[in-house]
C-alpha cells in the first residue's frame, strides 16, 4: 500500500515513472482474475482489495487531469481540431501511448463488469477523456458499441451516463462519430420496442426515456440527422404501403382472376399486423417527437408532411372498434405535429368516424373493467361491448377533439372551421342513447359556440382582409394568455383526464407525453460533471467485480462429475461449490497439471450440457455388465479349462 501511495504522489507531481507504474497497476486491476500468461510484472500478481480500490479510484478521478498536463492539452473538454493539432507535438509522440493504455483498459472494465453501479461510475469518469478517442479510431468504434449496449440494456443511472458520453462524442468529434451513433441508437431503440400486446408502467417509462434520448441526440446536428431520419421514415412508409396493397384486391378485367386474387383472411391479418405492432407504433411516436422537437429547424420541417401521411394511413388501415387505441395514438401524434409546425391537419374526421360506429352508440352488455387505451394496442371482442370501453373512448374523443379545436381557437377563420364539427356533434347527440354521453357532447358544443362568439366579436373591428399578412397578429395577446373559452376548457379536461388515468391500476404515464424528468436528470448530470469532487466516493471496487476464470471451471468439473455418477444430493452440491482458499489452490493445481502443462479449454455455452446418447449408452452398458455378473458365461468354462493344459505339458 505504501508503494501505491508513493506512485500516486509521484503521479500528482508529474513523475513519468510513477504515472507509468500507476497505469500498469490499473491495467492489472482491470484484468484481475484473467490468466493471460503475462508474468512480466510479478510485483502486481498479488493485489489486495484495498490496493485495488485505491488504484481504481485514483486513476479514474485524477489520471485525465494528470495526462492533460503531461501532454500540454486543454485542462478540460476540447474539440477534434484540438486533438488533431496535439498529435503532431513532441509530448504526444513521447507519452501519447499512456492515454491509449488508460482508455483501452477502462473500456475492458466497462465491458467485463457486471455491477451496474460500478459501470455507471466508470463511464462517468472516463467521459472526461472522450475527446481523446479521436486519436484512436478503432478504440472509438469499440466505445460507441459498448456505450450503446449499456444505454439500451442498463438500469438505474447507467443509461443516462452512457447517453451523456455518446452525446459528448457527437458534439466534440462531429461527423466522425455522429453517423455511427445516430444509426446505432435508433437500432438499439428498436430492439427495446419489441413487446407483447400490453405494456407495464415501468416498460412504458423506460421506452419513453429512450425515445427522449434519441430525440436529444438527433437535435445535436439537424442537418446530418435529416438524412438518417428520412431513410428511417421511408422504411415505415414502405411497410405501410405493403400492408395497403396486400389488403385490397388487384384490379383485373377477368372476374375469375379477380375473385381468385382476393387475399384470404389470414393474409389480411398478417398484412396489418406488421403495422399494428408496438415496434412500428413506437417508431411513429419517436419520429413525431423528433420532428416536433426540431420544428424550428428548416432541415426537419419537410419531414412533417410524409410523416403525417403515414400516421393518417395507419389510423385508417383497419376501421374497427378493436383498434381504437391505435387510432387515438395516431390522433394524438397528429395534434402534436399540428401544434409544433402551425399547420392545419384534419383530425376531426378520424374522431367522428369513431363516434359513428355502432359499438359506441349501442347498448353495452355489461359494466366491464376499466380500460387504459394507452397501454394496449387492441382490445378483445368482449371488452368492446362493455360500458367501461365506451366511456374511455367517448372521453378520449372529446379530449382530442377539444385539443384540436383549441389549437385554432385564435384563428380568424375559426367560425368557418368549426361549422362541420358542430353539425356532426349535434347529429351524434340526437342518435346517442346514453344520457352521460349526450351531456358530454353538449358541454363541448357549448364551448365551441362560446369560442365562435369570442372570435366573431374580435374580428368585427379589424380593417384587413384574410389574405393580408396582418392576420398573423390577430388575437396574439389572447393566444399568449390562453384566454379563449376552448383553451380554458382543455385545461379543465386535462385535469380530469389526469385524475382518471391515475385511478387506473396499470400506469399514469402516457407514451408521447413530454417528460419533465428527462430534462431534469439531464441538467443534473451536466452539473455533476462540472462540479469538483470534494467528498469521498461511495463506490468501492472489490476483488469480486470480475469473475476469475479458474474459479469458474471448478464448478463445471464438479457438475460434470456428479452428472456422470448420477449423484443428486442437495447437501453435497452446496459443500462442493463452497471452497476455501486452500481447496481452490489444490483444485487449480490439479487442473493445471495436464500433459501439455496448460489448462484445458472449455466452452462456456456447454458448461452443464450432458450428451443424452452417451449417457444412455453408459447406462445400457452398466445394466448389461450387471446382468452378466449373475448369468454364467458359456465361454468362461472353455477358457478356464484350456488354461491349465500348457502347464501340464510344461511339467512333463
Residue (of 63, 179, 69) closest to 129 by Cα position: 63
**CA–centroid distance for 314 within its chain:** 24
First to last CA, the chain: 86
User: How would you classify residue 357: left for phi > 0, otherwise alpha for psi between -120 and 50, otherwise beta?
Assistant: beta
Structural contact between residues 160 and 117, judged by C-beta atoms closer than 8 angstroms:
no
> Are 363 and 384 a contacting pair, CB within 8 Å?
no
Residue 570: per-residue pLDDT? 36
| 537, pLDDT greater than 70 | no
Number of neighbouring beta carbons within 10 Å of residue 607: 13
Residue 386 DSSP SS3: strand
Find the Cα–Cα–Cα–Cα dihedral 603, 608, 613, 618, rounded to 10°: 110
CA distances from 498 to 165, 206, 483, 510 (A): 35, 20, 22, 10
Same domain, 447 and 569: no
- Calpha distance 508→326 (Å, rounded): 18
Confidence label for 553 from pLDDT (cuts 50, 70 and 90): very low
Q: What grid cell was written down for 345?
A: 391537419
Q: Which is it for the CA torsion 582, 583, 587, 588, positive or negative?
A: negative
pLDDT band of residue 316 (cuts 50, 70, 90) is very high
**Closest among 193, 192, 202 to 377, alpha carbons compared:** 193
Three cell numbers written together for 343 = 399547420
Per-residue model confidence (pLDDT) at position 517: 54
Neighbours of 233 (CB within 10 A): 18
Whole-angstrom distance, CA of residue 157 vs CA of residue 311: 34
Residue after which a domain boundary falls, among 112, 142, 172: 142
C-alpha dihedral over 583, 587, 590, 593, to 10 degrees? -110
Query: Cell 379563449 belongs to which residue?
Result: 484
| Three cell numbers written together for 155 | 438500469
The three-point CA angle 318-323-327 to 5° equals 85
Q: Helix (H, G, I), strand (E, B), or coil: what is residue 511?
A: coil
Closest by Cα among 164, 174, 277 to 212: 164
For 188, the 3-state DSSP assignment is helix
Distance of CA 356 to the CA centre of its chain: 39
Whether the predicted pLDDT of 387 surpasses 50: yes
Please state which of the ranges 214-218, 486-490, 495-499 shows the lowest mean pLDDT: 495-499
What pLDDT score does 29 carry?
Answer: 87
Buried b (16+ CB within 10 A) or exposed e, 471-504: eeebbeebeeeeebbbbbbbeebeeeeeebbeeb
Question: Computed from CA positions of residues 273, 279, 282, 284, in that sequence, does the dihedral angle turn out positive or negative?
Answer: negative
Helix (H) or strand (E) segment spanning residue 187: helix 175-192
**Based on the domain organization, do 621 and 498 belong to the same domain?**
no
pLDDT of residue 588: 41
Q: What's the mean per-residue pLDDT of the chain?
A: 77
- The pLDDT of residue 565: 41
Domain end call among 142, 176, 198: 142
Who has greater pLDDT, 400 or 200?
400
| CB contact set of 605 (below 8 Å; sequence gap of 6+) | none
- Give the integer Cα–Cα distance in Å for 567 and 233: 59
Of the pLDDT bands very low, low, confident and very high (cuts 50, 70, 90), residue 533 is: low
The closest of 170, 176, 129 to 148, measured between CA atoms, is: 170
DSSP assignment letter at 501: H
- Residues 32 and 546: beta-carbon distance below 8 Å: yes
For the chain, what is the domain count? 3
Confidence tier at 12 by pLDDT (50, 70, 90)? confident
pLDDT tens track for 586-602: 444 443 434 343 333 33
Q: Is residue 31 part of a domain?
A: yes
What's the confidence (pLDDT) of residue 637? 47
* Secondary structure element (H or E) that encloses residue 144, with its range: helix 137-153
CB 250 within 8 A of CB 258: yes
Same domain? For 490 and 579 the reply is no
pLDDT of the residue at 439: 92
Asked whether residue 632 is domain-assigned, the answer is: yes
Q: Look at residue 532 and tell me if it is in a domain.
A: no
Domain final position from 142, 175, 204: 142
Evaluate whether residue 149 is within a structural domain. Answer: no
pLDDT-derived band of residue 156, with 50, 70 and 90 as boundaries? confident
Give the model's pLDDT for residue 635. Answer: 45
Domain identity same for 105 and 25: yes
Q: Are 444 and 425 in contact (CB under 8 A)?
A: yes
Could you identify the residue written with the cell 383485373?
252
How far apart are the C-alpha atoms of 238 and 313, rounded to whole Å? 12
For residue 463, CA distances in Å to 457, 458, 468 come to 14, 11, 10
Q: Is residue 77 part of a domain?
A: yes
Q: What is the mean pLDDT of residues 398-425?
A: 92
Asked if 360 and 436 sit in the same domain, the reply is yes
| 494 and 580 part of one domain | no
What average pLDDT score do residues 35-46 get? Answer: 51
State whether 450 and 585 are in the same domain: no
Q: What is the residue-wise DSSP string for 192-260?
A: HT---SB--HHHHHHHHHHHHHHHHHHTS-HHHHHHHHHHHHHHHHHHHHHHHHHHSPP--SSHHHHHH
Residue 294 lies in a domain: no
- Residue 102: which domain range? 2-142
Are 491 and 573 in the same domain? Answer: no
Question: Predicted confidence band at 544 (pLDDT cuts at 50, 70, 90)?
Answer: low
Cell numbers found for residue 198 = 400490453
Most confidently modeled of 57-71, 473-487, 582-596?
Answer: 57-71
**What confidence tens digit (pLDDT) does each residue in 626-637 have?**
666 555 545 444
pLDDT score recorded for residue 560: 44
Minimum mean pLDDT range among 27-36, 253-262, 302-311, 485-494: 253-262
Are 69 and 129 found together in one domain? yes
Domain assignment of residue 543, yes or no: no
CA dist 170 to 144, 359, 391, 576, 614, Å? 10, 51, 47, 51, 55
Query: How far is C-alpha 7 from the chain's CA centre?
Result: 42
Residue 354 has a CB neighbour count (10 Å cut-off) of 21
Are 406 and 487 contacting, i.e. CB atoms less than 8 angstroms apart? yes
Q: At a CB cut-off of 8 Å and minimum separation 6, what does 544 contact?
A: none
Position of cell 403515414? 310
425 with 564, same domain?
no
**Selected residue with higher pLDDT from 186 and 13:** 186
Are 618 and 489 found together in one domain?
A: no
Q: Residue 526 domain-assigned?
A: no
Mean pLDDT of 333-338: 96
Neighbours of 243 (CB within 10 A): 22
pLDDT surpassing 70 at residue 580: no
Residue 82 has pLDDT above 60, yes or no: yes
Contact 2, 22 (CB under 8 A): no
- Tell me the percentage of the chain whose pLDDT exceeds 70: 70
pLDDT tens by residue, 234-280 = 999 999 999 988 765 444 445 555 555 556 666 666 777 889 999 99
Residues 6+ apart with CB under 8 A from 124: 161, 164, 528, 529
Quick one: 487 and 556 in the same domain?
no
Amino acid at each position: 500500500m505504501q508503494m501505491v501511495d508513493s506512485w500516486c504522489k509521484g503521479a500528482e507531481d508529474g513523475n513519468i515513472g510513477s504515472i507509468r507504474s500507476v497505469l500498469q497497476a490499473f491495467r492489472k486491476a482491470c484484468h484481475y482474475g484473467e490468466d493471460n500468461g503475462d508474468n512480466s510484472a510479478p510485483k502486481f500478481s498479488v493485489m489486495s482489495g484495498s490496493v485495488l480500490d485505491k488504484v481504481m479510484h485514483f486513476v479514474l478521478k485524477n489520471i485525465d487531469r494528470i495526462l492533460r498536463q503531461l501532454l500540454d492539452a486543454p485542462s478540460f473538454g476540447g474539440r477534434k481540431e484540438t486533438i488533431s493539432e496535439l498529435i503532431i507535438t513532441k509530448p504526444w509522440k513521447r507519452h501519447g501511448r499512456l492515454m491509449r493504455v488508460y482508455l483501452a483498459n477502462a473500456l475492458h472494465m466497462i465491458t467485463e463488469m457486471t455491477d451496474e453501479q460500478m459501470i455507471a461510475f466508470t463511464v462517468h469518469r472516463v467521459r472526461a477523456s472522450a475527446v481523446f478517442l479521436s486519436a484512436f479510431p478503432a478504440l472509438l468504434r469499440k466505445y460507441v458499441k459498448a456505450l450503446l449496449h449499456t444505454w439500451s440494456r442498463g438500469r438505474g443511472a447507467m443509461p443516462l451516463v452512457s447517453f451523456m458520453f455518446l452525446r459528448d462524442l457527437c458534439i466534440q468529434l462531429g461527423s466522425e462519430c455522429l453517423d455511427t451513433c445516430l444509426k446505432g441508437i435508433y437500432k438499439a431503440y428498436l430492439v427495446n420496442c419489441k413487446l407483447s400486446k400490453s405494456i407495464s408502467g415501468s416498460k412504458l417509462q423506460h421506452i419513453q426515456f429512450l425515445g427522449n434520448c434519441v430525440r436529444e441526440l438527433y437535435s445535436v446536428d439537424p442537418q446530418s440527422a435529416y438524412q438518417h431520419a428520412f431513410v428511417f421514415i421511408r422504411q415505415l412508409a414502405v411497410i405501410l404501403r405493403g400492408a395497403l396493397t396486400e389488403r385490397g384486391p388487384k384490379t383485373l378485367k377477368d372476374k375469375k382472376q379477380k375473385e381468385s386474387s382476393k387475399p384470404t383472411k389470414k393474409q389480411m391479418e398478417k398484412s396489418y399486423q406488421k403495422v399494428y405492432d408496438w415496434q412500428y407504433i413506437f417508431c411513429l411516436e419517436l419520429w413525431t417527437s423528433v420532428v416536433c422537437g426540431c420544428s424550428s429547424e428548416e432541415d426537419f420541417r419537410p419531414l412533417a408532411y410524409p410523416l403525417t401521411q403515414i400516421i393518417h394511413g395507419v389510423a385508417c388501415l383497419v376501421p374497427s372498434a378493436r383498434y381504437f387505441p391505435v387510432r387515438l395514438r395516431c390522433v394524438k401524434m397528429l395534434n402534436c405535429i399540428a401544434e409544433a409546425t402551425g399547420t392545419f391537419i384534419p383530425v376531426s374526421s378520424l374522431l367522428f368516424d369513431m363516434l359513428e360506429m355502432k359499438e359506441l352508440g349501442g347498448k353495452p352488455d355489461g359494466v366491464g373493467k376499466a380500460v387504459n387505451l394507452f397501454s394496449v394496442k387492441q382490445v378483445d371482442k368482449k371488452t368492446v361491448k362493455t360500458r367501461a370501453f365506451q366511456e374511455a373512448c367517448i372521453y378520449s374523443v372529446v379530449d382530442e377533439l377539444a385539443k384540436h379545436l383549441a389549437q385554432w381557437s385564435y384563428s380568424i377563420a375559426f367560425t368557418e372551421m368549426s361549422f362541420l364539427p358542430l353539425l356532426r356533434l349535434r347529429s351524434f347527440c340526437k342518435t346517442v342513447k346514453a344520457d352521460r354521453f349526450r351531456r358530454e357532447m353538449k358541454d363541448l358544443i357549448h364551448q365551441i359556440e362560446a369560442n365562435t362568439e369570442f372570435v366573431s366579436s374580435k374580428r368585427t373591428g379589424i380593417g384587413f382582409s384574410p389574405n393580408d399578412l396582418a392576420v398573423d397578429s390577430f388575437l396574439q395577446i389572447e393566444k399568449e394568455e390562453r384566454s379563449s373559452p376552448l383553451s380554458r376548457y382543455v385545461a379543465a379536461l386535462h385535469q380530469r383526464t389526469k385524475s382518471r388515468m391515475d385511478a387506473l391500476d396499470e400506469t399514469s404515464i402516457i407514451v408521447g407525453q413530454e417528460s419533465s424528468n428527462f430534462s431534469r436528470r439531464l441538467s443534473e448530470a451536466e452539473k455533476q460533471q462540472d462540479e469538483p469532487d470534494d467528498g469521498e466516493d461511495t463506490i468501492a471496487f472489490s476483488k469480486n467485480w470480475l469473475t476469475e476464470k479458474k474459479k469458474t471451471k471448478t464448478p463445471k468439473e464438479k457438475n460434470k462429475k456428479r452428472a456422470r455418477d448420477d449423484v443428486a444430493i442437495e447437501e453435497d452440491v452446496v459443500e462442493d461449490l463452497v471452497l476455501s482458499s486452500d481447496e481452490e489452490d489444490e483444485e487449480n493445481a490439479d487442473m493445471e497439471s495436464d500433459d501439455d502443462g496448460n489448462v484445458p479449454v472449455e466452452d462456456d455455452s456447454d458448461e452443464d450440457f450432458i450428451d443424452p446418447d452417451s449417457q444412455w449408452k453408459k447406462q445400457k452398458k452398466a445394466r448389461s455388465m450387471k446382468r452378466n455378473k449373475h448369468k454364467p458365461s458359456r465361454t468362461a468354462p472353455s477358457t478356464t479349462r484350456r488354461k491349465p493344459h500348457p502347464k501340464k505339458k510344461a511339467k512333463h
